[in-house]
Structures are given as structure tokens and as C-alpha cells.
Amino acid sequence: MKKWVLCLMILVLLGFGVTKFKASMARTPQDETQPLEINEPYNADSSAAGAEEGLTIDVTKEMVYQGDLLLVNKDHPVPKGLHPDSEAVSLIRNAELIDGFGVLDNKVLLSPQMAERFTAMVKAAGKEGINHFLISSGYRDEQKQDELYRQMGSKLALPAGYSEHNLGLSLDIGSSQAEMNSAPEGQWLKKNAWKYGFILRYPDDKTAITGIQFEPWHFRYVGLPHSAIIQENGFVLEQYMDYLKEQQSVSLKVQGQKYHVFYYPVSKDRTLQVPVQGQYEISGNNMDGVIVTVRE
């Protein structure tokens, strides 16, 4: 009798262990509870060999005002040297760029690269049955932005040159079914847009920081891993720029990929010694430095 009870207890414990193992194997880097692993700051001294084998990158002062991470708001206008209008095209007049979403009219302008990024995101949503996306605005030139500002006023629009739409990295995304705040499309983007490099730029709890009212339709491209860090911490772009300057470096893993992010102040042409190797991208912050993102 005692043997039978002992065997039963062993079987129960084994079954519990297998269940826990299966549950742990089922988790993915995209789980809601822990979408990424962040380790901060990066300790260059922890690997002398890694520091010796790092990257040497020459940067110029002009690079502070180039890239996907430029902060554009009422205090930081779109840099004068940029020409996003040279890449923006009418989506309706370039129908091959429209795939899985609708477009409000032929005035919606977007670069082919941004259209491709958006398409990848809406196709992922479509696999979950969310498929009524509508782009109402993309790139706007300063003339169009000025008209909008005059019509809507300072509480609802930014003056020409101070809007992210003048930068060419933002989209106003709607749903053909309902308002974005309640539409399935809006809810899906709020939860998943970060996985494709997009962020909700003006959330309802950050109006004191952004100076802009809640806009559930306005999404900005910043790219991975930046969108993941912003999502995980509940940042807006202003807070993320401050966070990088404070931390100087952040190491993290997103969807199985290891990244290192470094902030460097730049007031003149200089050479950066980045303590890790890998594929890298550089973006200015439109203020006082550059952000180097290294993917191992």
C-alpha cells in the first residue's frame, strides 16, 4: 500500500514538472508580460577583448540632424537640410504600394520605404483578422502643414516645420469600421506596433510632456529596438531621448536578437570608439548627439 502511494506521488510530481516545462517552452520574446530583456548600462570593461574589437566610426556635426530617431516637436523643428519630399509619392497614383490597407485620397503621400514598413505591419494584423486599416495622412510639406495649422489652431496642430508629418516618418492611421480609440485596428496597433518599429506618438497620459492632445491615430516610425524599449517603459520619444542620455548605453534582446544602443554627444566632427562589433545604424537626436545602434 505504501509503495502504491509513493508511486502515485512520483507520477503527480513528474506530471507537474512536465507541465511547467511545456509552459516555459511556449513563451516567446513577444509575450505581453516580458516582450524583451533589457540590461543597462553596457559595461565595456566586462570584456576587454570585445572593447578591442569594437567599431571605429567617424561622425560629423551634420549627422546630429539625420536619421529615424530625430525628435521633432514645438521646441525642435525639422532640420533644414532634410528633403523627405524627394521620396514621398502619392499612394493612390502608385497603387503597387497599397497592399492590405486603404488610402483616404490621392493627397496621401508616403515614401516607398515607409509604405513597405506599414504593409508588413498590417499584414501581420490581417493574420489575426484585423484588416480595416486606412491611411489618412503621411508626409506633408510645410505649405500643407501651414494650412492645417491655420484651420485647426495650436491646440490641434503644430506650425509648419514643427510637425512630424514634415519629417516623413509619421502616419495618421484610421479604421474604416470605427474611431481608432475603440476600433480593433487601434487596439491592435497600441499593443503590437512596437514589434514593427512604430510607436504611438501622442498617448493620452503623456500630454503634459508632448504638448499634444491624445491622438490614437498618429504613429511614428523609430525602428527596433527603440520601439521595444519605448513600449516596455511606457515612454514617449521625449522621455526616451532623456533616458538614453542618462544611461549612455543599453543592451537588450528583442525577439531573440541582441542589440546595443549607445548615445554620444556630438558638437563637432569626431571619431567614436564603440565597444562592440556588429551591423550598426546611426541616427541623430536633432539636439546634441547621435545614437549608435549595434546588432550582433
User: What sections of 61-216 are H helices per DSSP?
Assistant: 112-126, 142-152, 184-192, 207-210
Give the pairing type, strands 279-284 and 102-103.
unpaired
Q: In angstroms, rounded to a whole number, what is the distance separating the alpha carbons of residues 252 and 237?
A: 18
Cβ–Cβ < 8 Å for 131, 122: yes
Q: In angstroms, rounded to a whole number, what is the distance separating the alpha carbons of residues 129 and 125?
A: 7
- 216 to each of 159, 243, 254, how far by Cα in Å? 20, 24, 25
* Active-site residue list: 215
Q: In angstroms, rounded to a whole number, what is the distance separating the alpha carbons of residues 134 and 102?
A: 4
Nearest to 101 by CA among 200, 191, 171: 171
CA 294 to chain centre: 16
Exposed (0-12), middle (13-18) or buried (19+): which is 153, by Cβ within 10 Å? exposed
Residue 22's contacts (CB-CB under 8 Å, 6 or more residues apart) are none
